[in-house]
Amino acid sequence: MLHHASARCAAGIPDRAGVGLKPEHYREILEQNPDVGYFEVHAENYMGAGGPPHAYLEVIRKRYPLSLHGVGLSIGAAGPLDRAHLSRLKALNERYEPGLFSEHLAWSTHESEFFNDLLPVPYTQETLDIVCRHIDEVQTTLRRQMLLENPSVYVLFEESEIPETEFLALIAARTGCGLLLDVNNVEVSANNAGYDAAKYIDSFPVEHVGEIHLAGNAVAEGEGERLLIDAHGSPVEDSVWGLYRGALSRTGPVPTLIEWDNDVPSWPRLLGEAQKAEAELSRSARQRNRTPARATALA
């Protein structure tokens, strides 16, 4: 097991807004050098031997802080982690030295089959033990702390016995991993599971949060239910901005990523979303600076 003082100190990523890097925007980014806090890439998209993805990422890495986000490690699978995949992640970590590395509280492989989705796990003592064992293995192999992301869920397990925020707090305490708070996932899961998203944020173990994700969701209605889908194909919803403000009031400024993976917008539109997050981060920083000043005056 690895021990780390805090999720934040080793990050190397500024408390600013970042953007998920898309091939559609490689050229504009290199030409314009936009003022973006950091870029994040999906690790699996950079597991080819060579070619333009690596060439562009090399240049962008020289100019910006980078965060590496895995989507296929299947940390929540009952079976063992895929050592070959872990080796590929290790190679990418060594090559690009990202400031953050994150993965999901989810599973996507069963036996030799890969499901291209983030599938849910029941929150039981057994799952807790398995997930913690896998995170220990990841952190030991990569020789770094990882962040674990809260999931979007569409089904609920009757056998779940631990609330999600408590489950994540237990994992962070046992493994020393940090947490990635995906605020859109909070809205999606809260809607689909029928709990209060703001209360979820209020009970989130914010001391472990090393990054926040923001994204758009989609509505699907049927069978007398209005479900939310984690679609990543539209702007961040107003309600999610509201939850984000609530989260920032607890965490203070924290690296915040705009994820827009489908129906990828123009670069200026995506940058505009990042600037909205940047404005919230500035407000959060000002609030943080005011608080101790007032405390001094009162003393």
* Interface ranges with another protein (CB under 8 A): 44-45, 47-55, 71-74, 77-79, 82, 85, 88, 107-117, 119, 121-122, 124, 126-127, 130, 154-159, 192, 220, 222-225, 227, 229
Q: Which backbone phi and psi does 196 adopt, to 5 degrees?
A: -90, 120
Closest contact distance (angstroms) between CB of 213 and another protein is: 18
- DSSP-assigned letters across all residues of 145-165: --EEEPPP-SS--TT--S-HH
Beta carbon of residue 17, minimum distance to another protein (angstroms, whole number): 27
Which residue reads 């796990």 in tokens? 121
Which one, 230 or 280, has the nearer CB to another protein? 230
What is the CB neighbour count within 10 angstroms for residue 139?
Answer: 19
SS3 for 143? coil
**Residue 215 to residue 236: CA distance in whole angstroms:** 5
Please compute, for residue 282, the number of CA atoms within 13 A of its CA located in the half-sphere on the CB side. Answer: 7
Q: Where are the alpha helices (DSSP H) in the chain?
A: 26-32, 52-63, 83-96, 125-142, 164-175, 183-193, 197-202, 238-251, 267-298
- Nearest-angstrom CA–CA distance, 144 and 127: 23
Per the CB < 8 A criterion, the answer to whether 198 and 163 are in contact is no
* Least distance to another protein, CB of residue 291, Å: 42
Of residues 117 and 196, the one with the C-beta less far from another protein: 117
Name the minimum Å distance from CB 203 to another protein: 21
Q: How far is the CB of 125 from another protein (least distance, A)?
A: 10
> Strands 147-149 and 218-222: what pairing?
unpaired
Q: Which is nearer to another protein, 73 or 179 (CB)?
A: 73
Q: How many residues are given for the chain?
A: 299
Q: Considering beta carbons, is residue 113 or 238 the nearer one to another protein?
A: 113
Nearer to another protein, 12 or 233 (CB): 233
Whether residue 177 contacts residue 171, with contact meaning beta carbons closer than 8 Å, is answered with yes
Residue with Cβ nearer another protein (108 or 256): 108
Which tokens hold the place of 190? 């809260």
Q: Look at residues 183, 177, 161, 171 and name the one whose alpha carbon lies nearest to residue 246.
A: 183
**Alpha-carbon separation of residue 146 from 2, 56, 129, 289 (angstroms):** 10, 25, 17, 29
CB of 84 to another protein, least distance (A): 9
- Least separation in angstroms between residue 193's CB and another protein is 9
CB of 226 to another protein, least distance (A): 11
Of the two residues 60 and 71, which places its CB atom closer to another protein in the complex?
71
Q: By C-beta, is 119 or 209 nearer to another protein?
A: 119
